[in-house]
Structure 1
């Protein structure tokens, strides 16, 4: 591992500098792969490539084009698009101009988008398509500082009546203008990059927030170059890797992956369409990828459903293989911790080898057959699901970080990973546990503060640099961190007992293959209850086998057989809990929770207050007739 002092002292002042270094070092190496739809619009996409040199030509053209629009250093350029190669090129173009990127989720509604555009004082918006352009146009009267909208999809860059002259242009036109400027001033962009200072603003990224209005997090230029160097120093990612990148790049988790990619110089295949993941994996054949826990939960639920469809005998084989997988993972991880070897007893190794032929090899093949490791972050992964994949040869390295800390602060260390923990701190990041159990962090990735909110900044950032994460955690003697819950989410029952809802929820996800989302409630109550939303594809397949075929999701959820089935999983959950943690009653929700209704953040975190307000009647129903104390 690289010496920490060298890592910190020699990091470039910006990712723009790092990008120029990468282009100079490996100009002809493949940098990006991206899908190109077939001319007919039907059938699978072909995949095109960009070398680092080709990517730089487009980045420089975008950068020079933005300079031509009057964008000055540290001014904000917003970027509202799904994950695609143009997002990355546009972000790098912004950074190479010395400006700062304001990423917006394309799913954000017009009103909230306008708030972020106004609060960030964004001068230019790079919008993916007609839908993003329409949102900006709808709110234009309240955005006098928004001078231009650059549309990625060229066919959608159509001015409308009432648009100021030149307000709308395509990304292709911006690149043409930039290329023309570079012919007149070849060093224009390089001069801008050379002038960037490490303390300048690079990204103003808004927290999606589980409560309240988003806050703009100010991240410095060298926060990202530090992240790139720190990721490189872990040794987890290699220059010969192929990364499959589909995560939302408006989220800090996706954004940090682009910095690590530039630092290491491997290949990144970019396609942010979630419905294409299953189709893309055997084509891309990644060696590593990152995802949020919900993706692994969905894959797990899908594998269980497919096994069940195969009939009783096939399902029993799967259940046996799943238990072998978890036992193998626990044993090998425990042995590695004690002896440095992942060896397991002969009998377990033999069972695992048989299960591999019958079950695990097919799962690995579905991921492309070359996957060395997955990085999981943004929220907690249920340990039972992590152990299942670990034993099946899909090694999920859990990590931890926040928007306010540039995303990557902890990650599990390769072969020494421990399921259920988020690993060890990245080189250069300090950690300590406060008296109340809160995790505190300090290091080069910590934010400058919340944009225009000094009081809110002071609440979480101490003068000596320690950041209060709001998460409760435990450190092992050898430095592995386990996050137990959000500080504000801890439940204290009316009997005075504390319950960590995320721990209970995670256990249930590992037990019940039909759950999509679960919210445990019990603050100031005399027992805990749960709201449970089920995974629609898995549930409907189960329904077809249990006399409920042809019914809608809501109808299946309302059926007594479904409640009885879920109730059995709740009983299994309760067997492993302390009495005060147990779920006494539950209600099945008539639909799954989603981003569109505001119940999940774009990174699929549960917005507890929103869900509890929306289903207040169901919660109260579960406590009717009880005496609170």
Structure 2
């Protein structure tokens, strides 16, 4: 049994070296999975630490990392930790202006980038930032310094120096500075200590049904605190980490790796489900009837409820005929899919559970390192539609206005250089104000209902929680993205991006010629289809909450266009400003 640890880099000796796996990490290079054994990983980390000392890096220096997930990311992360440097991880897909702002705000001294595109963008951002000395790359690029230039061979002198630095690092020292993407304003640097991250993965590790025999597929960005914390958890439990090649190869990589676990955002599960349903529409006759009966049964499933012998018999048959193919598509060995970063539609949780693919929804925020609550599978402790019980060691209370307040050892040190905002976020009694509205069901299971700042009031004085409406209407296979608007107006309305793949199938089934997405969004028949879907879900809400009008948009909101954050949350102010005329037109 591994010992307790106080600094994250102790995972090297207390977990990675003890498990001594031949594939601590693996990534696909030139069509082959290349594995990194424990001994090679630890040697590479140490070599990088020695090299940072030679560069003159000192405890507290800030080093930025801009890269897709790959083993090099972890090597330099641990290498930095051993010399007390602070890792400032950045999303690969944010703007050059954001890079520049973060480099300046954090006082970044060195930058490590993945490929040529990221190198060029970092170089442009660093042009006016005096603190940046060198930009290194993981790929070998002409005219760029390669990261291996930093590594240094072990000597008695540098080994002794590293050991002295490691002794000086306390559990509450700053480990990383993570700039939140934010839906409004400038990014804020969240200061997280070693203890913040350790307390979170130690609290969560028993909720994950994994052991040293397991493999995990990783495809969420490592600069996101959730994926990073989970990777530390994998290392702690001896689980091997396989990196997907990119977001477009996840299906192929799942079949290749056959992992027991992966973490995801709900949008990816939605896309998997929508593709499966679209294929179901292509079936005919008995096969089609069987497929949709399986879906019907799946959407009724609840892991906490025994629905009776007749339901169970039917479900078992459908698991053999239909759902077994879903399991094969995910590699055939899945013990758990962890969903976070946004609300998971209950129908998705139900149908994947019915298919023998347990999905656990959790909740957190960067400021909490990040997990605050999560559903659990072994033993079963979950409620679909909630984010589960509070993690061990944490406490939640609901404020008078419904805001969720949290206290625990995983709460951040504060916002970098922003003492006033820190005092706003963490009150004098140590409660982190999450900005989310919620409640505890059965006194135990946390349910998120909305963002405090996003609730709006209609002209009739009624409060509307847009996320509740949005999450419900996104259950339609014909709705990809939606934001509900109506601040100060008579009724709520919505901007909707159709799910164009499903829409093509519907058009084909109804004899409607499909031209382009943009033209289809203007068709009266399509508008009626989606408005009917909205009305179907409206019935579950009070009259003042119901959406009366909609506008269809011709293309999905993207990170590149600045309409959604890197974690796929819509930037409401940006979207409402961009489509101001359309919104106003719904109220004429």
How many equivalent residue pairs?
586
**Aligned residue for 1:31?**
24
**Aligned residue for 1:348?**
311
**Aligned residue for 1:521?**
485
In the TM superposition, 1:187-586 aligns within 5 A as 187-271=160-244, 273-311=246-284, 314-329=287-302, 332-333=303-304, 335=305, 343-414=306-377, 415-510=380-475, 512-548=476-512, 551-586=515-550
Once the 2 structures are TM-superposed, how far is the Cα of residue 193 of structure 1 from its aligned partner?
Answer: 2.5
CA deviation map 1:409-462 (0-9, x unaligned): 211121222111111122111111111111111111111111101111111111
Question: Structure 1 residues 75, 567: CA separation in 2 closer, same or farther (over 3 Å shift)?
Answer: same
Q: Distance in 2 between matches of 1:23 and 1:519?
A: 45
**Aligned residue for 1:609?**
573
Comparing 547-556 and 455-464, the one that deviates more: 547-556
CA deviation map 1:493-550 (0-9, x unaligned): 222222221111111122x112211111122211111110123433344444444556
Question: Structure 1 residues 28, 381: CA separation in 2 closer, same or farther (over 3 Å shift)?
Answer: closer
Comparing 396-405 and 425-434, the one that deviates more: 425-434
Question: Structure 1 residues 548, 122: CA separation in 2 closer, same or farther (over 3 Å shift)?
Answer: farther
- Contact 1:247 / 1:272 at 8 angstroms: preserved in 2? no
Comparing 531-540 and 215-224, the one that deviates more: 531-540
CA deviation map 1:321-369 (0-9, x unaligned): 222112232xx42x3xxxxxxx331111112122212321111111111
Once the 2 structures are TM-superposed, how far is the Cα of residue 240 of structure 1 from its aligned partner?
Answer: 2.6
1:46 alignment partner, one of 19, 23, 32: 32
Once the 2 structures are TM-superposed, how far is the Cα of residue 314 of structure 1 from its aligned partner?
Answer: 4.2
Give the match's secondary structure for 1:425. Answer: coil
CA deviation map 1:381-402 (0-9, x unaligned): 1112221212222211000110
Once the 2 structures are TM-superposed, how far is the Cα of residue 111 of structure 1 from its aligned partner?
Answer: 1.4
List gaps (5 residues or longer) in structure 1.
Answer: 38-44, 160-167, 336-342, 625-629
- Contact 1:532 / 1:588 at 8 angstroms: preserved in 2? yes
Once the 2 structures are TM-superposed, how far is the Cα of residue 589 of structure 1 from its aligned partner?
Answer: 0.5
**Aligned residue for 2:61?**
75
Once the 2 structures are TM-superposed, how far is the Cα of residue 602 of structure 1 from its aligned partner?
Answer: 0.3
CA RMSD of aligned residues (A): 2.0
Does the alignment pair 1:92 with 2:56? no
Give the match's secondary structure for 1:323. Answer: helix
- Contact 1:127 / 1:149 at 8 angstroms: preserved in 2? yes
TM-score by length of 1: 0.89
TM-score by length of 2: 0.95
Q: Distance in 1 between matches of 2:17 and 2:74?
A: 19
**Aligned residue for 1:169?**
145
Question: Structure 1 residues 397, 560: CA separation in 2 closer, same or farther (over 3 Å shift)?
Answer: same
Q: Distance in 2 between matches of 1:130 and 1:153?
A: 7
Give the match's secondary structure for 1:566. Answer: helix
Question: Structure 1 residues 66, 370: CA separation in 2 closer, same or farther (over 3 Å shift)?
Answer: same
Give the match's secondary structure for 1:472. Answer: strand
- Contact 2:200 / 2:369 at 8 angstroms: preserved in 1? yes
2:6 alignment partner, one of 1, 13, 19: 13
Question: Structure 1 residues 74, 312: CA separation in 2 closer, same or farther (over 3 Å shift)?
Answer: farther
List gaps (5 residues or longer) in structure 2.
Answer: none
Q: Distance in 1 between matches of 2:125 and 2:486?
A: 41
- Contact 1:245 / 1:272 at 8 angstroms: preserved in 2? no
Give the match's secondary structure for 2:73. Answer: helix
Comparing 470-479 and 585-594, the one that deviates more: 470-479
- Contact 2:27 / 2:245 at 8 angstroms: preserved in 1? no
Give the match's secondary structure for 1:484. Answer: strand
**Aligned residue for 1:627?**
none
Once the 2 structures are TM-superposed, how far is the Cα of residue 315 of structure 1 from its aligned partner?
Answer: 4.1
